[in-house]
């Protein structure tokens, strides 16, 4: 049976599933319900000088009837007094000593202010601190949040201030709204951070109401940029986690579009020790953790992984520069006509959108009939033309109807970098000029 206990920067979590700092961790009541549901830890909604929020605050993007493919918010940090938050943290830790409570903090960028806040958080019984250097909206304009996290020097400096004042682990939460996140992550590490968490939300505007021209989410017809998250951002977060994992020695808590155990396992494969969830809990409630625990355990049992360390980071080395990919590896598409429903989306996608390697249905090509005796329009892959791009398989609405199969090119593996090296070696050096 898989052991989901995780050691993270010196503290132990009963499982790798934490609620991220956000609306679900706003109050003791929510956090305790979450622990009862099975969450291993909770990063408290960011504590700082109480703010005033707008109405409305959230925006969503649906796709073909599926709700909240993407989500954004213009909500700020906790609107509750600092002492209320710390009193509640104390209460939660007293009742749930085994679950982790991590205090997310945001303070004006003064050394003494950080020192004071950090001590209060530690006194309240927090297991760790998360420094919110990532919030992209509202707070950043006041010199906090991502205003800190976008500048390596600030990140390093404030991290070091915090480390001066506390003995509990310090996690620095990173913003994706930078050109190179690893520069910030390395700065946090230099500042003494015990771990990093990433990513925070992406700057976004959710849309425009075409009748009123109010940007979304609308506050009396106006809006402001907010933080984008939800399933749509997962690929961005995976890339950033992998980049950071390649350069840092300290642990990573993965965040960004996680809603299922499979998502979590992917973050772990790219180096994350724990994961944090917010949007999915806002969408479906705390109960989603049940299958995250169950599914991950099952996956680990099926693969013989006794602990998360057994597979954590296994995919990191497979993330390479493009120049290190084998150019002689070849796959081509195959249509399994018995599964084909005849929509020809693969045909038009390849013809108009890719590389013209599929022939459309033609009456003579196949005799497949549907339940009403009508022709099923099965298209045909042109094996010689297919470049193996995946597009047809990606657009096909039927599971496993189009698969990609490897074909032997008869050539040994060869990357771009190898090719360039080989070519420069075989070419004669340029003639000196002026001979």
Partner 1 sequence: MPLRETAPKLDPEQYERNFADIKPAMSPRQAAIEATRCLYCFDAPCTIACPTHIDVPVFIKKISTENLRGSARVILTANILGESCGRVCPTEVLCEGACVMHEKGQAPIEIGRLQRYAVDYVRERKIQLFRSGASNGRRVACIGAGPASLACATELAKWGYEVTVLDANELPGGLSTYGIAAYKTRAADSIREVDMIRDLGVTFRQKVQVGRDIAFADLEKQFDGIFIGVGLGETGELKLPGEDLQGVYGAMEFIEKTKIEPFPQIEIGRRVACIGAGNTAIDVVTAARRLGAEVVYLIYRRGPQDASAFEYELELAKKDSVVFLWQTQPVGILGREGVVTGLECVRTSLGPGDGKRRRTPEPVSGTEFTLEVDMVVRAVGQKPVTEFLKGVKGLELNPNATVRINDRHQTGNPKYFAGGDCTNGGKEVVDAVAEGMTAARGLDTWLGSPLGGQSSNEPARDVAR
Q: Which residue in the block uniquely carries the two structure tokens 């108009």?
A: 352
> Which CB atom, from 267 or from 361, has the smaller least distance to partner 1?
361
- What's the farthest any 2 CA atoms get from each other in the chain? 86
> Which CB atom, from 50 or from 342, has the smaller least distance to partner 1?
342
> Which CB atom, from 63 or from 407, has the smaller least distance to partner 1?
63
Q: Which residue in the block uniquely carries the two structure tokens 């010199």?
A: 143
Q: Is the dihedral of CA 293, 296, 301, 302 positive or negative?
A: positive
Question: Minimum Å distance from CB 66 to partner 1?
Answer: 9
Q: Which residue in the block uniquely carries the two structure tokens 């800190």?
A: 148
Question: Minimum Å distance from CB 400 to partner 1?
Answer: 13
Please name the helix (run of DSSP H) or strand (run of DSSP E) that holds residue 45, with its range, or none: none
> Which CB atom, from 164 or from 375, has the smaller least distance to partner 1?
375
Residues near partner 1 (CB under 8 A) are 64-65, 340-345, 347-348, 360-361, 370-372, 374-377, 397-398
Out of 135, 278, 386, 401, which one is annotated catalytic? 135
Question: Minimum Å distance from CB 341 to partner 1?
Answer: 4
Residue 350 falls in the annotated catalytic set: no
Non-local (6+) Cβ contacts of 248 within 8 A are 182, 185, 186, 189, 196
Non-local (6+) Cβ contacts of 136 within 8 A are 145, 146, 175, 177, 200, 201, 202, 203, 225, 226, 227
Under 8 Å between Cβ of 392 and 333 = yes
For strands 330-335 and 226-229, give the pairing.
Answer: unpaired
> Which CB atom, from 242 or from 333, has the smaller least distance to partner 1?
333
Active site positions, annotated: 135
């Amino acid at each position: 049976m898989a052991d989901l206990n995780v050691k993270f920067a010196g503290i132990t979590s009963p499982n790798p599933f934490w609620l991220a700092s956000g609306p679900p961790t706003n109050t003791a009541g929510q956090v305790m319900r979450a622990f009862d549901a099975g969450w291993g830890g909770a990063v408290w909604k960011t504590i700082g000088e109480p703010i005033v929020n707008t109405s409305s605050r959230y925006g969503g993007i649906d796709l073909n009837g599926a709700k909240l493919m993407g989500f954004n918010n213009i909500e700020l940090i906790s609107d509750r007094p600092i002492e209320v938050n710390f009193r509640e943290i104390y209460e939660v830790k007293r009742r749930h000593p085994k679950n982790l409570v991590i205090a997310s903090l945001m303070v004006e960028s003064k050394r003494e202010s950080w020192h004071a806040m950090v001590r209060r958080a530690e006194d309240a019984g927090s297991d760790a601190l998360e420094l919110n250097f990532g919030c992209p909206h509202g707070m950043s304009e006041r010199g906090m949040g991502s205003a800190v996290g976008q500048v390596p020097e600030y990140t390093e400096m404030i991290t070091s201030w915090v480390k001066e004042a506390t003995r509990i682990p310090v996690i620095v939460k990173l913003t994706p709204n930078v050109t190179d996140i690893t520069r910030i992550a390395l700065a946090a590490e230099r500042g003494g951070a015990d771990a990093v968490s990433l990513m925070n939300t992406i700057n976004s505007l959710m849309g425009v109401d075409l009748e009123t021209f109010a940007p979304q989410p609308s506050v009396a017809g106006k809006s402001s940029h907010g933080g984008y998250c939800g399933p749509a951002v997962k690929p961005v977060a995976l890339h950033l986690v992998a980049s950071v994992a390649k350069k840092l020695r300290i642990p990573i808590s993965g965040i960004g579009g996680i809603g299922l155990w499979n998502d979590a396992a992917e973050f772990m494969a790219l180096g994350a020790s724990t994961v944090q969830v917010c949007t999915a809990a806002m969408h479906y409630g705390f109960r989603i953790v049940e299958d995250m625990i169950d599914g991950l355990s099952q996956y680990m049992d099926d693969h013989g992984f006794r602990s998360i360390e057994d597979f954590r980071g296994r995919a990191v080395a497979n993330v390479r520069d493009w120049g290190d990919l084998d150019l002689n590896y070849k796959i081509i598409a195959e249509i399994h006509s018995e599964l084909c429903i005849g929509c020809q989306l693969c045909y038009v996608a390849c013809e108009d959108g890719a590389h013209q390697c599929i022939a459309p249905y033609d009456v003579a090509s196949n005799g497949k009939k549907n339940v009403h005796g009508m022709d099923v329009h099965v298209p045909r892959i042109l094996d010689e033309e297919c470049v193996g791009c995946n597009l047809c398989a990606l657009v096909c609405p039927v599971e496993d109807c189009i698969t990609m199969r490897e074909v032997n090119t008869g050539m040994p593996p060869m990357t771009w970098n190898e090719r360039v090296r080989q070519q420069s070696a075989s070419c004669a050096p340029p003639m000196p000029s002026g001979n």
